Amino acid sequence: MSKIRWVNGWSYGVEMICTLDANALISWIHPSTDELTIARFGLLFETISKSRGKLIIPTPSLAEAFVHTQDETSEWVEIMSRKSSFVVAPFDSKAALECALIDRLALSQGSKRTGTVATESWQKIKVDRQIAAIARVHQSDLLVTNDQNLRAICKFVGIKTSLISELELPATALQGKLDLSPPKT
Protein backbone atom coordinates (compact mmCIF):
# COMPACT_ATOMS: atom_id res chain seq x y z
CA MET A 1 0.00 0.00 0.00
CA SER A 2 1.45 3.38 -0.99
CA LYS A 3 1.73 6.14 1.58
CA ILE A 4 -0.20 9.29 0.69
CA ARG A 5 1.35 12.52 1.93
CA TRP A 6 -1.17 15.17 2.94
CA VAL A 7 -0.21 18.84 2.90
CA ASN A 8 -2.72 21.59 3.70
CA GLY A 9 -5.50 19.03 3.34
CA TRP A 10 -4.22 17.99 -0.07
CA SER A 11 -2.59 14.75 -1.11
CA TYR A 12 0.24 14.43 -3.57
CA GLY A 13 -1.05 12.79 -6.71
CA VAL A 14 -4.22 14.90 -6.80
CA GLU A 15 -3.87 18.05 -8.93
CA MET A 16 -3.99 21.12 -6.68
CA ILE A 17 -4.95 24.53 -8.03
CA CYS A 18 -4.21 27.40 -5.68
CA THR A 19 -4.69 31.16 -6.08
CA LEU A 20 -2.69 33.82 -4.24
CA ASP A 21 -4.02 37.29 -3.61
CA ALA A 22 -1.81 40.38 -3.31
CA ASN A 23 -1.06 40.16 0.41
CA ALA A 24 -0.06 36.50 0.08
CA LEU A 25 2.10 37.26 -2.94
CA ILE A 26 3.76 40.20 -1.18
CA SER A 27 4.32 38.10 1.95
CA TRP A 28 6.06 35.42 -0.12
CA ILE A 29 8.45 37.66 -2.01
CA HIS A 30 9.12 40.68 0.24
CA PRO A 31 12.74 40.78 1.42
CA SER A 32 11.72 41.24 5.08
CA THR A 33 9.48 38.14 5.15
CA ASP A 34 10.34 35.77 7.99
CA GLU A 35 11.76 32.30 7.33
CA LEU A 36 8.67 30.44 8.57
CA THR A 37 6.40 32.25 6.11
CA ILE A 38 8.81 31.53 3.26
CA ALA A 39 8.89 27.86 4.36
CA ARG A 40 5.06 27.74 4.33
CA PHE A 41 4.94 29.05 0.76
CA GLY A 42 7.78 26.76 -0.26
CA LEU A 43 5.87 23.69 0.93
CA LEU A 44 2.67 24.95 -0.75
CA PHE A 45 4.48 25.41 -4.07
CA GLU A 46 6.17 22.01 -3.70
CA THR A 47 2.74 20.43 -3.13
CA ILE A 48 1.32 22.18 -6.19
CA SER A 49 4.27 21.21 -8.37
CA LYS A 50 4.33 17.56 -7.28
CA SER A 51 0.60 17.26 -7.90
CA ARG A 52 1.05 18.75 -11.38
CA GLY A 53 -1.27 21.53 -10.28
CA LYS A 54 -1.25 25.27 -10.88
CA LEU A 55 -0.38 28.35 -8.85
CA ILE A 56 -2.71 31.10 -10.07
CA ILE A 57 -1.68 34.74 -9.71
CA PRO A 58 -4.59 37.02 -10.72
CA THR A 59 -3.43 40.15 -12.55
CA PRO A 60 -5.16 42.47 -10.02
CA SER A 61 -3.06 40.80 -7.29
CA LEU A 62 0.10 41.06 -9.36
CA ALA A 63 -0.53 44.77 -9.99
CA GLU A 64 -0.80 45.46 -6.27
CA ALA A 65 2.33 43.41 -5.58
CA PHE A 66 4.23 45.54 -8.11
CA VAL A 67 3.19 48.65 -6.16
CA HIS A 68 4.69 47.35 -2.91
CA THR A 69 7.64 45.23 -4.08
CA GLN A 70 8.39 46.24 -7.66
CA ASP A 71 11.94 44.92 -8.04
CA GLU A 72 11.35 41.75 -6.04
CA THR A 73 8.08 41.05 -7.88
CA SER A 74 9.66 41.48 -11.32
CA GLU A 75 12.49 39.08 -10.46
CA TRP A 76 10.10 36.59 -8.80
CA VAL A 77 7.72 36.57 -11.80
CA GLU A 78 10.65 36.07 -14.18
CA ILE A 79 11.87 33.05 -12.19
CA MET A 80 8.41 31.58 -11.61
CA SER A 81 7.28 32.00 -15.22
CA ARG A 82 9.81 29.31 -16.16
CA LYS A 83 7.85 26.82 -14.07
CA SER A 84 5.00 24.94 -15.73
CA SER A 85 2.82 25.17 -12.62
CA PHE A 86 2.85 28.99 -12.54
CA VAL A 87 0.02 30.94 -14.23
CA VAL A 88 -0.51 34.70 -14.35
CA ALA A 89 -4.28 34.85 -14.89
CA PRO A 90 -5.89 37.91 -16.49
CA PHE A 91 -9.29 39.37 -15.76
CA ASP A 92 -10.56 38.29 -19.18
CA SER A 93 -14.05 37.82 -20.63
CA LYS A 94 -14.59 34.52 -18.76
CA ALA A 95 -13.61 36.15 -15.48
CA ALA A 96 -15.80 39.16 -16.28
CA LEU A 97 -18.79 36.87 -16.78
CA GLU A 98 -18.01 35.03 -13.53
CA CYS A 99 -17.69 38.37 -11.71
CA ALA A 100 -21.07 39.44 -13.08
CA LEU A 101 -22.56 36.17 -11.80
CA ILE A 102 -21.16 36.91 -8.32
CA ASP A 103 -22.68 40.40 -8.47
CA ARG A 104 -26.03 38.98 -9.60
CA LEU A 105 -25.97 36.44 -6.78
CA ALA A 106 -25.40 39.23 -4.25
CA LEU A 107 -28.21 41.32 -5.74
CA SER A 108 -30.57 38.34 -5.71
CA GLN A 109 -29.94 38.04 -1.98
CA GLY A 110 -30.86 41.64 -1.25
CA SER A 111 -27.85 43.91 -1.77
CA LYS A 112 -24.86 44.41 -4.04
CA ARG A 113 -22.74 44.17 -0.86
CA THR A 114 -24.09 40.75 0.20
CA GLY A 115 -21.25 38.36 0.99
CA THR A 116 -18.74 41.11 1.81
CA VAL A 117 -17.46 42.98 4.84
CA ALA A 118 -19.97 45.78 5.33
CA THR A 119 -17.36 48.49 5.93
CA GLU A 120 -15.33 47.89 2.75
CA SER A 121 -15.35 50.46 -0.05
CA TRP A 122 -17.28 49.54 -3.17
CA GLN A 123 -14.09 49.76 -5.27
CA LYS A 124 -12.30 47.23 -3.02
CA ILE A 125 -15.31 44.91 -3.16
CA LYS A 126 -15.23 45.04 -6.98
CA VAL A 127 -11.51 44.21 -7.16
CA ASP A 128 -11.86 41.41 -4.60
CA ARG A 129 -14.73 39.96 -6.64
CA GLN A 130 -12.50 40.08 -9.73
CA ILE A 131 -9.86 38.03 -7.87
CA ALA A 132 -12.51 35.54 -6.70
CA ALA A 133 -13.89 35.34 -10.25
CA ILE A 134 -10.43 34.57 -11.66
CA ALA A 135 -10.01 31.86 -9.00
CA ARG A 136 -13.36 30.32 -9.97
CA VAL A 137 -12.60 30.41 -13.70
CA HIS A 138 -9.37 28.53 -12.99
CA GLN A 139 -11.22 26.13 -10.66
CA SER A 140 -9.02 26.94 -7.67
CA ASP A 141 -9.23 24.57 -4.77
CA LEU A 142 -7.74 27.11 -2.37
CA LEU A 143 -7.24 30.87 -2.25
CA VAL A 144 -4.53 32.09 0.13
CA THR A 145 -5.26 35.51 1.61
CA ASN A 146 -5.21 37.44 4.87
CA ASP A 147 -7.84 39.84 3.48
CA GLN A 148 -11.08 39.48 5.44
CA ASN A 149 -13.26 40.92 2.66
CA LEU A 150 -11.84 38.55 0.04
CA ARG A 151 -12.29 35.65 2.50
CA ALA A 152 -15.95 36.67 2.95
CA ILE A 153 -16.50 36.81 -0.82
CA CYS A 154 -14.86 33.41 -1.27
CA LYS A 155 -17.06 31.92 1.44
CA PHE A 156 -20.10 33.45 -0.28
CA VAL A 157 -19.22 31.77 -3.60
CA GLY A 158 -17.83 28.50 -2.21
CA ILE A 159 -14.06 28.92 -2.57
CA LYS A 160 -11.96 27.48 0.26
CA THR A 161 -9.53 30.00 1.76
CA SER A 162 -6.50 29.86 4.00
CA LEU A 163 -4.73 32.50 6.02
CA ILE A 164 -1.00 32.56 5.41
CA SER A 165 -0.45 31.47 9.01
CA GLU A 166 -2.71 28.44 8.42
CA LEU A 167 -0.49 27.06 5.66
CA GLU A 168 1.35 23.97 6.83
CA LEU A 169 4.96 24.27 7.89
CA PRO A 170 7.44 21.72 6.54
CA ALA A 171 8.98 19.52 9.22
CA THR A 172 12.40 21.08 8.57
CA ALA A 173 11.06 24.51 9.56
CA LEU A 174 9.80 23.15 12.86
CA GLN A 175 13.27 22.11 13.96
CA GLY A 176 15.05 24.57 16.20
CA LYS A 177 18.39 26.02 15.25
CA LEU A 178 21.34 25.40 17.52
CA ASP A 179 23.73 28.20 18.24
CA LEU A 180 27.07 26.53 17.62
CA SER A 181 29.17 29.66 17.83
CA PRO A 182 31.89 29.69 20.48
CA PRO A 183 30.94 31.33 23.77
CA LYS A 184 31.88 34.97 24.14
CA THR A 185 34.43 35.66 26.81
Which pLDDT score, from 0 to 100, does residue 81 have?
84
How far, in Å, CA of 182 to CA of 175, rounded? 21
Predicted TM-score of the model (pTM) = 0.86
Q: Report the pLDDT averaged over residues 155-171.
A: 94
Q: Report the pLDDT averaged over residues 22-38.
A: 91
What is the fold of 12-169? Rossmann fold (3.40.50)
Q: Report the pLDDT averaged over residues 16-40.
A: 92
Residue 8 has pLDDT above 70, yes or no: no
Per DSSP, the three-state class of 54 is strand
Parallel/antiparallel/unpaired status of strands 6-7 and 10-11? antiparallel
Please write the tens of the pLDDT for every residue from 74-133. 888 888 888 889 999 999 999 999 999 999 999 999 999 999 999 999 999 999 999 999
**What φ, ψ does residue 3 adopt, rounded to 5°?**
-90, 130
Which pLDDT score, from 0 to 100, does residue 7 have?
52
Q: Where are the domains of the chain?
A: 12-169
Please write the tens of the pLDDT for every residue from 38-81. 999 999 999 999 889 999 999 999 999 888 887 787 888 888 88
Which pLDDT score, from 0 to 100, does residue 167 have?
94
